[in-house]
Amino acid sequence: MENDTDNTFQQPAGRRLEGMVALITGGGSGIGAAIATLFAQEGASIVITGTKETALEKVVQNIQNKGGIAIYAVQDVSIEEDWKRVIAIVIGQFGKIDILVNNAGITGNLLAPLQDRSATEFMQVLSTNLLGPFLGIKTVAPYMKSGAAIVNVSSIAGITGNAGGNAYTASKGGSRMLSKGAAIDFAKLGIRVNSIHPGYVETPMVQNMEGAVAFKNMAVGSTPLGRGAGPEEIANGILFLASKESSFMTGAELVVDGGFTAF
């Protein structure tokens, strides 16, 4: 049957984040560095934060060398005062904030059965992975206008459990549901909040962990596509959630896992 409709996808004119200002936590390495680089290429002004100044400086330098706009601020996402200082820097430098990506995260020991984990370590993981995004949304959203977007980087560990991952899984499940609660709270202001759920991604987080090789074999072995993701494959999903292309999505979960959770 002949189809006279032109269904060719039209790329919108200009870059996808032109003129926007984006704050990305944990931007000094891995997925955060990939998000910052991609967002800068798409026309956004970037503020990356994290605990390791040298790493942040390097990512900012790389973006500036390619003609992008980027600055960094040292921040511990679990400290409310740090968030207040960071939002003052963002507003002082760029006058507005359009996108927040709560990306910073730690795993804790991914191989510790629950009965062997200390309450102190459990709370450390929750402080970074769950309290951090809560404080981020609480501090940044009041400066956002209708059309702004928040993305929480959760994990497939926020959807399925795994042996020894109890603290990380609890934190990422929390981040997933925090996104939904915040999505409803901020919908009337036109601010969207979504979560992304990567599978195994080749970054320092998993490359440097105890038992890295065994963990990778387990993760890749359970991934139908048979490999881990590159950080830029996750950044592409976050770009979609941060851009106007996802304008009718809020409180949603974008799974980018090579089929891990399809079983």
| Phi, then psi, of 17 in degrees rounded to 5 | -125, 25
CA atoms 61, 63, 68, 71: torsion sign:
negative
Is 136 a binding residue for ligand NAD by CB under 6 A? The answer is: no
Q: In whole angstroms, how far apart are CA 88 and each of 29, 73, 81, 139, 171?
A: 24, 11, 11, 10, 27
Is 25 a binding residue for ligand NAD by CB under 6 A? The answer is: yes
- Nearer Cβ to ligand NAD, position 48 or 97? 48
Q: For residue 157, which of 118, 117, 129, 116 has the smallest C-alpha distance?
A: 129
When binding is defined by CB under 6 A, the residue of 91, 106, 209, 218 that contacts ligand NAD is 106
Token output for 257: 């896992």
- Nearer Cβ to ligand NAD, position 138 or 145? 138
Token output for 29: 């390495």
Min. distance of Cβ 106 from ligand NAD in angstroms?
5
When binding is defined by CB under 6 A, the residue of 200, 237, 239, 254 that contacts ligand NAD is 200
Min. distance of Cβ 126 from ligand NAD in angstroms?
11
Distance CA 129, CA 106 (A): 7
67-96: which residues touch ligand NAD (CB under 6 A)? 75-78
Q: For residue 49, which of 97, 18, 85, 1 has the smallest C-alpha distance?
A: 85
Distance CA 24, CA 49 (A): 6
Min. distance of Cβ 131 from ligand NAD in angstroms?
9
Other C-beta atoms within 10 Å of 19: how many? 11
Is 133 a binding residue for ligand NAD by CB under 6 A? The answer is: no
Catalytic residue list contains 168: yes
Among the listed ranges 12-20, 61-69, 198-206, 235-243, the one in contact with ligand NAD (CB under 6 A) is: 198-206
Is 204 a binding residue for ligand NAD by CB under 6 A? The answer is: yes
Active-site residue identified among 72, 143, 168, 200: 168
C-beta of residue 128 within 8 angstroms of C-beta of residue 104: yes
- Nearer Cβ to ligand NAD, position 28 or 258? 28
Q: At what angle do helices 30-41 and 53-65 cross, to 10 degrees?
A: 30
Residues lying near ligand NAD in the complex (CB under 6 A) are found at 25-26, 28-32, 50-52, 75-78, 103-106, 128, 153, 155, 198, 200-201, 203-206
- Could you give the residue numbers annotated as active site? 168
